[in-house]
Structure formats: C-alpha cells, structure tokens
C-alpha cells in the first residue's frame, strides 16, 4: 500500500499543463509586419488614386505588398519550424486559420476586386474579424477579441462608404480604404505589439 | 491523505517525473528534449531513462532529426498514452470523491 494525496497530484498535473501551454504563445510578429505592410499599401493606393495614376501600377503595388508578406511569413515559419522546441495544437490551428484567411484575402484582392470593379476592403475586414476572434480565443487575448468586433463594425462602415448612399468627401478618395488603413494600424499593429510584449514577458518569466 | 491500493493507478505513469512528462505532452502537440528537461526539471540521464520507459510502454513516440549537425529529439503522446493519462486522472478524481 502506498500513500498519496490525489488532490496534490491533480494540482501538480494542472500546474505542469498550464506552464507548458504558456510556453507556446504566439509572439505577434506576423500581425505587426502584415499590418504595417498592408496599411502602407493602402496609403500608397490612396496616393496613386489622388495622383490619378491608372493602369497596372496598382497590380504591381499589391503583388509587392502581398508577395513581401508571404515571403516574410514563409521564411519565418520555416526557420521557426526547424528550431522550435515545442509545438501546440493551438499553434497549428492558428497557422491553418491565418493561411485560410490569407488565401481568401488574396482571392478578394486579385480576383474579386478586379472582376467586380468594387473595393474588396469591406469583405476583407469581415474575414479579418473571423481571424481575430478565433485567434483571440485560442491565445486568450482580449485585444484580439475587441479587434474582431471593430473589424466587423468597420466592415459595415466600409460597405456604407462604398455604397451609392454615401457622399464622397473627394471624388477620387476612397474613404473605405482610408478607414481600412487606419484600422490596420489600430486593430492589428497595436494589438500585435501588445501581444509581442506579452510574449517577451512570458519568455523572460519562464 | 488517503490510503489506497497502488495497483489502481498505472505504474508507468505513477512516478513524479513520468507524470510530469505526460502532463507536458498532454498540453502540447510535440516537445523537444530540452523543453521537457526544463519543464520537468530533470537531468539529461534521468529524463532519458523515464522517456525510454514511456516509449517502451507505447505512451510516447520519439522523432529524431538533425538541425545542421546537431541531433534533436522530439516527443509526442501516442493515442494509447493519452488514454492512459486520462484514465490516471479519472482514478485520482475518483479517489477524491470517495
């Protein structure tokens, strides 16, 4: 016969599980880089519109923006995968989620936008809302949950700004794009920086 | 403290280090040897012995790879190991209830 305290054993198990989960949080770098890239792309698009530039300049700009983002993410992912010390189910789900969102956004930018002759930003904002809510739940990160709500509210506003009922502030200024660019900074780059700080604190505290 | 028949609990898991290894692997999908060593707070030799025992019982599976010239071993819980761990936790909870 052996004496143990089952409560103590269970508390020990819970603590180990909690500590191990903490070690695998996202560091937020992808959100910061993509947010900066896309908002710069948006501001550049607005600039090109105001300068009355036509033709393939927009296509080249967005191929450069999206291509740059994908190359950055791919290189980072491959580098981290070769040196990663721990892999979690939540991390795998996050990777799959953002890959799926990224593919949908690419379709909207390079296929939906040109074919429909409308701005894809309201739909992209709605897709980002899904990505941020799921990420917020998986990472237990309230800023992303708030971001998701903001992206959906922003999506509704962008649909209105693109509609025939909205009065344009300037005939060549796409207000939905301006809103999208500002939201990219406030709802993606800023929470990304907060997540990065949380990750640094957790790594330092390990 | 409760007196109980130790045969009710899985002998393979019923060791502090092996229990900790199993708990870490339940929380993550896959973990490298150095990560387990940090979390479990064990020496290389001690951890290797316990991982070998869990591997032989079919509770964990090992994957070896090279990064440059450096060999890295990663471990993950098998379906059998996950079931055994769940059963172990269930037994502990039963003990608390009774």
Task: Tell me the per-residue pLDDT of A143-153, one tens digit each, with 9 for 90 and over.
Answer: 999 999 999 99
Percent of chain A beyond pLDDT 70? Answer: 92
State residue A1's pLDDT score: 44
Residue B17 falls within a domain, yes or no?
A: yes
State residue A96's pLDDT score: 93
pLDDT at A23 over 70: no
Element counts in chain B: helices (H) and strands (E): 4, 4
Q: In what order do the strands lie in the sheet with B70-77?
A: A86-87, B30-32, B70-77, B60-67
Residue B1 falls within a domain, yes or no?
A: no
Give how many domains chain B has, as a whole number. 1
Q: Which residue of A has its CA nearest to B26?
A: A17
Instruction: Give the C-alpha separation, A58 to A43, whole Å.
Output: 12
Q: What pTM does this model have?
A: 0.78
Q: A138-167 burial, b if ≥16 CB within 10 A, otherwise e?
A: bbebebbbebbebbbebbebbbebbeeeee
- Of B3, B32, B37, B4, which is closest to residue B20 (Cα–Cα)? B37
Residue B79 sits at the chain A interface (C-beta within 8 Å): no
Residue B20 falls within a domain, yes or no?
A: yes
Residue B68 falls within a domain, yes or no?
A: yes
Q: Which residue of A has its CA nearest to B41?
A: A16
pLDDT at A158 over 60: yes
Q: What is the pLDDT of residues A31-65, one digit of tens each?
A: 999 999 999 999 999 999 888 888 889 889 999 99
User: Which structure tokens are listed for A28?
Assistant: 């937020």
Residue B91 falls within a domain, yes or no?
A: yes
Show which residues on chain A lie within 8 Å of chain B, measured between beta carbons: 1-7, 9-10, 12-13, 16-21, 23-24, 82-89, 91-92, 206
Q: A73-95 burial, b if ≥16 CB within 10 A, otherwise e?
A: beeeeeeeeeebbbbbebbeebb
Spell out which residues of chain B touch residue A12, defining contact as CB-CB under 8 Å. Answer: 16, 19-20, 23
* B24·A6 Cβ contact <8 A: no
Mean pLDDT of A182-199: 95
**Domain membership of residue B47 as a residue range:** 6-97
Report the CATH number that the domain containing residue B92 is assigned in CATH: 1.10.10.10
Nearest CB among A2, A7, A206 relative to B6 is that of: A2
């Amino acid at each position: 016969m052996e004496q143990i305290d089952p409560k103590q054993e269970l508390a020990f198990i819970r603590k180990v599980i909690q500590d191990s989960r903490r070690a695998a949080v996202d560091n937020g770098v992808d959100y910061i880089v993509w947010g900066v890239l896309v908002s710069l792309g948006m501001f550049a698009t607005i600039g090109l519109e105001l300068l009355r530039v036509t033709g393939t300049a927009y296509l080249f700009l967005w191929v450069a923006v999206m291509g740059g983002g994908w190359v950055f993410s791919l290189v980072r992912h491959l580098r981290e995968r070769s040196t990663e010390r721990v892999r979690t189910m939540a991390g795998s789900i996050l990777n799959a989620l953002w890959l799926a969102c990224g593919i949908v956004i690419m379709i909207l930018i390079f296929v939906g936008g040109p074919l429909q002759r409308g701005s894809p930003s309201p739909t992209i904002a709605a897709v980002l809302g899904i990505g941020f809510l799921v990420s917020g739940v998986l990472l237990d990160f309230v800023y992303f949950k708030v971001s998701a709500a903001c992206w959906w509210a922003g999506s509704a506003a962008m649909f209105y700004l693109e509609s025939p009922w909205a009065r344009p502030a300037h005939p060549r200024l796409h207000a939905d794009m301006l809103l999208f660019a500002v939201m990219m900074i406030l709802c993606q780059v800023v929470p990304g920086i907060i997540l990065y700080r949380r990750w640094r604190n957790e790594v330092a505290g390990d | 403290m409760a007196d109980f028949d130790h045969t009710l609990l899985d002998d393979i898991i019923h060791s502090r280090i092996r229990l900790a290894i199993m708990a870490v692997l339940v929380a993550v999908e896959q973990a490298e040897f150095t990560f387990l060593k940090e979390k479990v707070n064990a020496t290389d030799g001690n951890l290797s012995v316990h991982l070998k025992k869990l591997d032989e019982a079919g509770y964990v599976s090992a994957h070896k790879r090279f990064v440059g010239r450096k060999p890295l071993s990663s471990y993950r819980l098998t379906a059998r190991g996950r079931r055994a761990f769940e059963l172990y936790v269930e037994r502990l909870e039963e003990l608390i209830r009774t």
